[in-house]
Amino acid sequence: MLLRVIISEMDIRKVTLDNVPDTVHGLKEDKATLEVLISPPDTVSDSSLLPLSQSPSTSTLASSVVLPVSQSPSISTLVSSSFSQLKQSRLHPWPTVFTIPTFSYNVELRLKHGNEAYIKDGTLLKISCDMQTEILDKLAEAMFAYKAKPNKEEIKSVAIALLEKQPCQKEGDPQLGGKDQKTLEHKRELMCQEMKNRNPNKSFTNGAMSSTYALRRQEIIQKEPPVSEMKKKWPALFYE
């Protein structure tokens, strides 16, 4: 077959091959028997460029472009280097106490205010989707530095460390309407304090009784306390 070899724009050659070699190495071995003709530059369309393995078996003139060998690192070298760096980053064992990473300024600020509110009255912070995504991504990155696949106990240790540092992220009890029991108990105590006044604020006590309904319902169903105890813990129930 007749093959057109494009070395450069001004160096185009025609090579006669008895057969199509399977590999470039095979082409090198046959170079002594090749008939090379220098041809003037001509117009070559992209559609005429074919790899040797797909060159036509007829006498049609096929074209192949000679590309220079890049001196950049091989893929195997890059992969080997990456694994080496990853191995170096995982020399440390899983920590006894996991260090929670620092989040972005906005997230840290919201967590700070959330923790202050939680310490004050037990109010839980409502985590937005974008905030949750950043927190989870940062935690995953920090865990991956030790292990690609941490076990359940290790993941649990991360959750414990997170809630110790950011208690406002605790989940509310679903049986309490998604609210924190500490928050509801605090409201119940405030209601009891108000009921000790000679003229308790009815609007406040009604609001407190309404917001603590889930806690009261849970206590009645699970413990079935006597009326005397209910009067003591929920005096507004018996106030006219």
Assess whether pLDDT exceeds 60 at residue 8.
yes
Regarding whether 56 and 22 lie in a shared domain, the answer is yes
> Does residue 121 lie within any of the structural domains?
yes
Q: Which domain holds residue 145?
A: 78-170
Question: If pLDDT is split at 50, 70 and 90, which confidence band does 44 have?
Answer: very low
Regarding whether 147 and 86 lie in a shared domain, the answer is yes
218-230 pLDDT per residue, tens: 888 888 888 888 8
Regarding whether 125 and 82 lie in a shared domain, the answer is yes
Query: How many other β-carbons are positioned within 10 Å of the β-carbon of residue 19?
Result: 9
Regarding whether 58 and 104 lie in a shared domain, the answer is no
Q: CB pairs under 8 A, 24+ apart, for 48-56?
A: 49/6, 52/3, 52/20, 52/21, 52/24, 52/27, 53/20, 53/22, 55/1, 55/3, 55/20, 56/1
**Of 131 and 74, which is predicted with more confidence?**
131
Last residue of a domain, one of 170, 197, 226: 170
pLDDT in the model for residue 240 = 66
> Does residue 197 lie within any of the structural domains?
yes
> Does residue 188 lie within any of the structural domains?
yes
Instruction: Decide if 124 contacts 172 (C-beta within 8 A).
Output: yes
